[in-house]
Structure 1
Amino acid sequence: MIIHTSKTDLSHSMHSIVELKGVKCGYRCGYCGNAWGKASYGMWSHSMTVQDYQDLIDRGWRRSGKYVYKPIMNKTCCPQYTIRCHALNFNPTKTHKKTLKRMNKFLSNGEMPVERSDGKIEGEPMDSAHEEGVRPPPQDLLKIDHTDVEEFTTSPDTDSKSTAHLTPREDPAPTPPEKTLHVAPKPGKGADPNRPMCRKAKDIRKERRLQKDEQKQQEGASTSVTPVPLKSTSNQPKLLEDFISESFPTDPLHRLEVRLVRSNPPSPQFKASFDASYQLYKLYQIAIHMDPPEKTTESQFKRFLCDSPLEAKTAPDGPDVGYGSFHQQYWLDGRIVAVGVLDILPSCVSSVYLYYHPDFSSLSLGTYSALREIAFTKQLQKQSPKLSYYYLGFYVHSCPKMRYKGHYRPSDLLCPETYVWVPIERCLPHLDTSAYSRLNEDAKAGDAQALRDVGRALVLHRRAVMPYAAYARKRKGSSDEKDAEQYAGLVGQTCAERILLYRS
């Protein structure tokens, strides 16, 4: 069946339209510094439904602007595994709690964390991994994975200091090793047998409480006094929302407001704040990533973080804000200090990127914004029960500084062969052995969406929508069947039958 349509009809249709760009190999890896190590497939997306993009990222794809790419996992030097966090069951770590408490202290009284001499905040990873990813046409475009903004301040290959081989907490020895090693301990007399054994302070306190309770019961037996329990039954661990919504003084020193504005199509609020947002992005790229000012242009900013192929959509069972692409702006005392770029999809909130004011880097805004986005996902789930995951982009186990994403638990990694989700705890032993792993331990399992019939894949040719089989009959002698099979295999049979593959 062939459906004829016009460009106007297509621009307002509910179809996704993609143009295959093929394989890109041998470009620089921002994780390990290999100049020729990365490899990926790529497509240019003219339009994309939120359901199609949800299905694509569940097959290892990811977007940068309107460019959609998928790492070739068994060829790229640093395999990138799609990772998702179960937002409803998320348990913040001690590091996460410290980050939230530091932000609350800053808002209350202006107390800023003090950076160590190595630029780190105690208990926090460094901000920002600088990943050079696929460069979409027509102009080179820097691709950086959003929550990777939690790790490096410089690319790994630029750190040439003499102490680069040391771990973060390791310092050069102050004296030559031969003067400090093999020193025998001085002889001692040992424990005094006439003194009682040492006891833990908490055991002593517990014993005293029990003695007091027994004494009170004896003294007040006639009045039937109920003994006080040793532990309060209401002493439950604080939830993520409790830390975020912690009460402040009546007159806090700073006020933080988080605003969600639709970036595509741009809402009036997005347009009103565009210049301030762009100036913040430019400042961030120059200060944190050392980008030349001439490359951080307004048009580059629009292509990278404002343009999106995702349709804006509302649904009766969807969140009130709708689906699509958004900017979550952090306004501190009336000015933007950070922006998280998000996609809201049928099953998840997908983190795209974060940029922030360098003056506030000590507040660990990368971690803080990720925690706020997890809380935001939980909020949306109350309106849309299916929307319960927070996608952090890619997890790169072969790069130790990128493993922090695995601390947002419970979380799963996507098997690159069967496209099923596997709890990260079961994946780590495999990744410790090999950078690339199947992850799914069921040897008999396969890809449920594997290509079955390329002839049923939809094609857009000369303003007409048709199955690939009909297109091949019209184009006798066409030599693009291998490309079509590769494309349909990568997106899966279901998406191949929904998405329109543009053919000239």
Structure 2
Amino acid sequence: MASVVEYKGLKAGYYCGYCESREGKASCGMWAHSMTVQDYQDLIDRGWRRSGKYVYKPVMNQTCCPQYTIRCHPLQFQPSKSHKKVLKKMLKFLAKGEISKGNCEDEPMDSTMEDAVDGDFALMNKLDIKCDLKTLSSDLKVSIESEEKEKEKSLKKEGSKDLIHPQAIEEKLGSGEPSHSIKVHVGPKPGKGADLSKPPCRKAKEMRKERKRLKLMQQSSAGAFEGFQAQGQPVSLLPKAKSNQPKSLEDLIFESLPEDASHKLEFTRFLCNSPLEAEHPANGPECGYGSFHQQYWLDGKIIAVGVIDILPYCVSSVYLYYDPDYSFLSLGVYSALREIAFTRQLHEKTSQLSYYYMGFYIHSCPKMRYKGQYRPSDLLCPETYVWVPIEQCLPSLDNSKYCRFNQDPQAEDEGRSKELDRLRVFHRRSAMPYGVYKNHQEDPSEEAVVLEYANLVGQKCSETMLLFRH
């Protein structure tokens, strides 16, 4: 199995959805007929990113809004206050039916679909959140429809129009802005008084006194704990010490709900159609490597679908689209936090899988800086392709849209193409080294195109992927 790609070359001077420049954008792209997960891992570590089967790389020193590859460290990640508010908002909604009001929209979209080079496939502009689902790639629609058909007959009757509305296309990582919430439960009717089936409300001052009393009891009984336990007394009778440790991401996401919870949120995962070839190595994650749909089901109704790529060293977020009727749940933020937790789970089985790639960070567009809130995180140097902590990059980005993050002026791109003749070509149904292929070519422009491709993908990928040539 080998990756087969068709290089499309440079596309410059077209519309940018970030700054609305009509002719400011520049990128190079290629069509991936098939691709191994390792090749794609190596490509995104050189600044590439896929939209469907189209794989593109911004020309960083030319494009109007440089897009820097960003990755998060899930093993060290701690949710911020705004992240915790989103998770607690979801828990309150599931447990008690509370809904939010006010401004609870997620941050703007990132790159969901890059513009087509030849116009031969339907792709979306990154900020066009009003785009109808008909503009999605046919492969994605067919995959989603086939998955829905497998559900119960009652779900079929709802139809796809109940699943996604216009304005439902949304990139994953929202800001998690705090919002106020109100309960949808109706209180006691006039004249009925308080609900006597529930314990009376307690003042905050009384609750603080109670916590202090329990803490003193715990301290006084600490010395006698071993003897108390040895006499056969149940440990559960001891007052529990209040932990000073903040709740982990998993504690907030997987907190148990009451039996009478108002709502039920479930998740399913399916392989989806993409250029990435699914792989199931013995030492890999149980679900294998490849592209997956993560479906979010609320009370039997699908409300969101996220697409992720599970690669040898990371989970890469592709995009998320959801029913806008549930935007009050900040599903962009919530799905990102769940995927960070999912990456942690995969790491337990596959130790080298330890990063969460969030696509591109665009510092020159203030609305697209929200990914910097997921820390610790790194940005990829666009010249040497080494990872640099985002804190070290921000001062430079404040002064210039395009920056080299590697502070060593002598450092070079270690993965650059060094031996062009070893590049692999697929020509007339045969794979061959470029050194053999070029002996039969008379077009003087051919070598310039191949050299441009080789410099962009690097020596490693140029030797493992097959470059299709007519």
Give TM-score scaled by structure 1 length.
Answer: 0.71
Is the counterpart of residue 387 in structure 1 residue 374 in structure 2?
A: no
Q: Is the 8 A contact 1:127 1:366 kept in 2?
A: no
CA shift at 1:479, angstroms? Answer: 3.0
Is the counterpart of residue 251 in structure 1 residue 257 in structure 2?
A: no
* Matched letter for residue 425 of structure 1: E
Q: Is the 8 A contact 2:51 2:113 kept in 1?
A: no
* Matched letter for residue 83 of structure 1: I
Is the counterpart of residue 314 in structure 1 residue 280 in structure 2?
A: yes
Write out aligned runs for 1:114-153 (5 A): 114-115=101-102, 120-121=103-104, 125-126=106-107, 128=109, 133-137=114-118, 138-144=120-126, 148-150=171-173
Q: Is the 8 A contact 1:350 1:390 kept in 2?
A: yes
User: 1:127 and 1:363, CA in 2 relative to 1: closer, same or farther beyond 3 A?
Assistant: farther
CA shift at 1:128, angstroms? Answer: 3.6
Q: Is the 8 A contact 1:23 1:41 kept in 2?
A: yes
Distance 1:35 1:148 in 2: 22
CA shift at 1:148, angstroms? Answer: 3.7
Write out aligned runs for 1:456-475 (5 A): 456-475=422-441
Aligned to 2:300: 334
* Matched letter for residue 252 of structure 1: A
* Matched letter for residue 115 of structure 2: V
After superposition, the C-alpha distances for 1:384-420 in whole angstroms (9 at most, x for unaligned) are 1111111110000001111110101110000000000
Aligned to 1:442: 408
Aligned to 1:164: none
CA shift at 1:476, angstroms? Answer: 4.2
Aligned to 1:455: 421
Aligned to 2:194: none
After superposition, the C-alpha distances for 1:342-380 in whole angstroms (9 at most, x for unaligned) are 111000110111001111001100000000000111111
Write out aligned runs for 1:213-228 (5 A): none
CA shift at 1:150, angstroms? Answer: 4.7
Query: Quick one: which of 50, 60, 65 aligns to 1:73?
Result: 60
Q: Is the 8 A contact 2:4 2:33 kept in 1?
A: yes
Aligned to 1:422: 388
Aligned to 2:148: none
Q: Is the 8 A contact 2:309 2:318 kept in 1?
A: yes
- Greater shift, 130-139 or 322-331, is seen at 130-139
Distance 2:111 2:430 in 1: 42
CA shift at 1:461, angstroms? Answer: 0.8
Query: Helix, strand or coil: the match of 1:23?
Result: strand
Write out aligned runs for 1:61-460 (5 A): 61-115=48-102, 120-121=103-104, 125-126=106-107, 128=109, 133-137=114-118, 138-144=120-126, 148-150=171-173, 234-264=243-273, 308-460=274-426
User: 1:449 and 1:126, CA in 2 relative to 1: closer, same or farther beyond 3 A?
Assistant: closer
CA shift at 1:473, angstroms? Answer: 1.0
Is the counterpart of residue 22 in structure 1 residue 9 in structure 2?
A: yes
User: 1:410 and 1:130, CA in 2 relative to 1: closer, same or farther beyond 3 A?
Assistant: closer
After superposition, the C-alpha distances for 1:402-461 in whole angstroms (9 at most, x for unaligned) are 111010111000000000000000000010010100011111111111111111100011
Aligned to 2:143: none
Aligned to 1:56: 43
After superposition, the C-alpha distances for 1:180-214 in whole angstroms (9 at most, x for unaligned) are xxxxxxxxxxxxxxxxxxxxxxxxx99xx89x98x
Instruction: Provide the alpha-carbon RMSD of the alignment.
Output: 2.8
Task: State the 4+ residue runs in structure 1 displaced beyond 4 angstroms.
Answer: 129-132, 149-152
User: 1:147 and 1:343, CA in 2 relative to 1: closer, same or farther beyond 3 A?
Assistant: farther
Aligned to 1:272: none
Distance 2:338 2:323 in 1: 17
Query: Helix, strand or coil: the match of 1:46?
Result: strand
Q: Is the 8 A contact 1:18 1:47 kept in 2?
A: yes
* Matched letter for residue 252 of structure 2: F
User: 1:437 and 1:460, CA in 2 relative to 1: closer, same or farther beyond 3 A?
Assistant: same
Distance 1:24 1:449 in 2: 24
Query: Helix, strand or coil: the match of 1:331?
Result: strand
Aligned to 1:189: none
* Matched letter for residue 431 of structure 1: L
What fraction of aligned residue pairs are identical, expressed as a percent? 60
Unpaired runs of at least 5, structure 1: 1-13, 153-167, 169-204, 218-230, 265-307
Q: State the structure with more CA Rg.
A: 1
Aligned to 1:162: none
Distance 2:173 2:343 in 1: 20
Distance 1:130 1:86 in 2: 21
Is the counterpart of residue 39 in structure 1 residue 26 in structure 2?
A: yes
Aligned to 1:487: 453
* Matched letter for residue 351 of structure 1: S
* Matched letter for residue 256 of structure 1: L
Aligned to 2:136: none
Distance 2:110 2:439 in 1: 48
User: 1:345 and 1:421, CA in 2 relative to 1: closer, same or farther beyond 3 A?
Assistant: same
CA shift at 1:39, angstroms? Answer: 0.4
Query: Helix, strand or coil: the match of 1:361?
Result: helix
User: 1:127 and 1:469, CA in 2 relative to 1: closer, same or farther beyond 3 A?
Assistant: closer
Query: Helix, strand or coil: the match of 1:113?
Result: strand
Unpaired runs of at least 5, structure 2: 128-168, 179-207, 221-239
Q: Is the 8 A contact 1:69 1:134 kept in 2?
A: no
Aligned residue pair count: 377
* Matched letter for residue 28 of structure 2: Y
Distance 1:474 1:127 in 2: 49
Q: Is the 8 A contact 1:151 1:401 kept in 2?
A: no
After superposition, the C-alpha distances for 1:135-154 in whole angstroms (9 at most, x for unaligned) are 254134115499745569xx
